Amino acid sequence: MSRRMTYQRFFAEAVEALKAERRYRVFADLERVVGRFPHAIRHTPEGETPVVIWCSNDYLGMGQHADVVEAMATTARRMGAGAGGTRNISGTHHPIVQLEGELADLHRKDAALVFTSGYVSNATGISTIARLIPDCLILSDALNHNSMIEGVRAAGRDKAIFRHNDLEHLEDLLRRAGKERPKLIVFESVYSMDGDIAPIGRICDLAERWGAMTYIDEVHAVGLYGPRGAGVAERDGEMGRIDVIEGTLAKAFGCLGGYIAADGAIVDAVRSHAPGFIFTTTLPPAIAAAAATSVRHLKASRAERERHQHQVAATKDALIAAGLPILDTPTHIVPLMVRDPELCKAASDRLLDVHGLYIQPINYPTVPRGTERLRITPTPFHDADLIAGLADALVEVWTHLGLPFTATQAREAAE
Ligand SMILES: *Cc1c(COP(=O)(O)O)cnc(C)c1O
């Protein structure tokens, strides 16, 4: 066998293994159209087809907001396409400095630091913070996002995983570590796959009782919750008690980038020590300007948040009435359970091919095996007609594939 063939086989086998487990991923090639979201164009080898997107993390459609797009376009024309360097070497442009000021103000912290993505902000932020604390024990929620797990791993510190949102387990681990040992609790506010929320205030109580520092990922909450869109901690009146707030500019804010907001001393230390901040080129000025525009807009305007919650509630009502087995979440995330990887993929394929609705199947390892689902994210732009169309299409797909409806619906059908 040739040298090239020998190596190619490793990669081909790696892909075959995924296919055998039915978790080989196929991407939808989409073209979003400003002014028409959630309608989009899907490109396939057979041509173009119209689709309605029901699984976007551009939760409020800010990615197409006129002011945000305008800020991006005018800044690119004035300042060019790229940043031209790392933050330290000529890449600290004025729009990113302004963006950091906007984010510090959003979270009412001394300072904020922007990274090229939310993933990077967690991976390099958590690892750097934990490495700067002598003998730090990291306490991490079992359902934390991969970027946080990566940060915990890269820290190389002792770690203890507490059962998801389990305060007793967390306190047990804190007690075992003792008050004296430095500890960092890392958790999320909104967990994006189950759509549930952490008991933020009670985690802060424990942190204060046992002398731990707190780090929260508000990626699925910033822009969406709280009077100024600073997240669930703001909504719950707990923001001031959290030491480090991490967020993304890529979901509800509709752009790209991640950040942390914290006391000046923490931000300055991360700025000075985090490899994932230091050794990479700054986000372009146009993206920073667009993100700042989006943050500023959502700080002042509640209309998007209110309409979002309204359409989410209407979607949940429609799916429950149709007997579809959604998880009843306290958030904007609507998980529709399938609990089988092949059926989940088949349901998604049929929604797309027959009904023109795009909902990506969520399979292992994103969620545990046996909890495969369709993760539906209504936005303010999913109106009553689109919601009714979604419910009808799902009922057709559920019936076609023989998927179970909820018990109440099955009883009604039998009567
Ligand atoms: C998406 C996500 C991230 C990463 O944010 P990006 O800006 O997309 O890199 C971090 N944490 C959680 C919980 C996420 O879902």
pLDDT in tens, 60-95: 999 999 999 999 999 999 999 999 999 999 999 999
3-state secondary structure of 114: strand
pLDDT in tens, 242-273: 999 999 999 999 999 999 999 999 999 999 99
Pocket of ligand 1 (CB under 6 A): 117-119, 122, 145, 147, 188, 192, 217, 219-220, 248, 250, 258
- Crossing angle of helices 384-401 and 341-355, in 10° steps, is 130
Centre of ligand 1 from the C-alpha of residue 332, in Å = 16
Segment (H or E) for 75? helix 66-79
Centre of ligand 1 from the C-alpha of residue 39, in Å = 24
Answer for the pair 322, 388: CB distance below 8 angstroms, yes or no: no
- On the question of pLDDT at 7 being above 60, the answer is yes
Answer for the pair 113, 271: CB distance below 8 angstroms, yes or no: yes
Categorise residue 359: left if φ over 0, alpha if ψ from -120 to 50, beta otherwise.
beta
- On the question of pLDDT at 47 being above 80, the answer is yes
Q: Is the peptide bond before 404 cis (omega within 30 degrees of 0)?
A: no
pLDDT in tens, 212-241: 999 999 999 999 999 999 999 999 999 999
The pLDDT score that the predictor gives to residue 410 is 54
Share of the chain above pLDDT 90, in %: 95
Nearest atom of ligand 1 to the alpha carbon of 192: 15
Centre of ligand 1 from the C-alpha of residue 247, in Å = 8
| Residue whose CA is at the smallest distance from ligand 1 atom 8 | 118
pLDDT in tens, 127-184: 999 999 999 999 999 999 999 999 999 999 999 999 999 999 999 999 999 999 999 9
The pLDDT score that the predictor gives to residue 22 is 81
| Residue whose CA is at the smallest distance from ligand 1 atom 13 | 145
The pLDDT score that the predictor gives to residue 407 is 75
Beta strand residue intervals within 10-80, DSSP E? 29-32, 39-44, 47-53
The pLDDT score that the predictor gives to residue 413 is 52
Helix/strand/coil (H/E/C) assignment for every residue in 148-215: HHHHHHHHCCEEEEECCCCHHHHHHHHHHHCCCCCEEEEEECECCCCCCECCHHHHHHHHHHHCEEEE
Nearest atom of ligand 1 to the alpha carbon of 145: 13
Q: What CA dihedral angle connects 110, 114, 119 and 121, to 10 degrees?
A: -40
pLDDT in tens, 404-415: 999 765 555 554
Nearest atom of ligand 1 to the alpha carbon of 250: 7
d(CA 314, CA 229): 21
Q: Which two tokens stand for residue 81?
A: 């396409």
- On the question of pLDDT at 357 being above 80, the answer is yes
**Mutation test residue for ligand 1: of 120, 145, 295, the one with most atoms within 8 Å of CB:** 145
| Residue whose CA is at the smallest distance from ligand 1 atom 6 | 118
Centre of ligand 1 from the C-alpha of residue 249, in Å = 9
Q: Is the peptide bond before 38 cis (omega within 30 degrees of 0)?
A: yes
Other Cβ atoms closer than 10 A to 150? 18
Q: Which residues contact 390 (CB under 8 A, 6 or more apart)?
A: 52, 54, 315, 318, 319, 357, 376, 382
Centre of ligand 1 from the C-alpha of residue 83, in Å = 23
The pLDDT score that the predictor gives to residue 23 is 83
d(CA 23, CA 175): 40
The pLDDT score that the predictor gives to residue 1 is 77
Q: Which residues contact 143 (CB under 8 A, 6 or more apart)?
A: 164, 188, 191, 193, 194
Other Cβ atoms closer than 10 A to 160? 16
Centre of ligand 1 from the C-alpha of residue 300, in Å = 24
- End-to-end CA separation in angstroms for the chain: 66
More confident of the two residues 26 and 408: 26
The pLDDT score that the predictor gives to residue 348 is 97
What value does the mean pLDDT take over residues 374-378?
98
3-state secondary structure of 54: coil
pLDDT in tens, 179-192: 999 999 999 999 99
Nearest atom of ligand 1 to the alpha carbon of 57: 1
Share of the chain above pLDDT 70, in %: 98
Centre of ligand 1 from the C-alpha of residue 79, in Å = 28
**Mutation test residue for ligand 1: of 114, 119, 121, the one with most atoms within 8 Å of CB:** 119
Place of tokens 């700042």: 292
Enumerate the β-bridge partners of residue 258.
Answer: 115, 248
Q: Which residues are known catalytic residues?
A: 251
The pLDDT score that the predictor gives to residue 409 is 56
- How open is the CA angle 69-74-80, to the nearest 5 degrees? 115
| Residue whose CA is at the smallest distance from ligand 1 atom 5 | 118
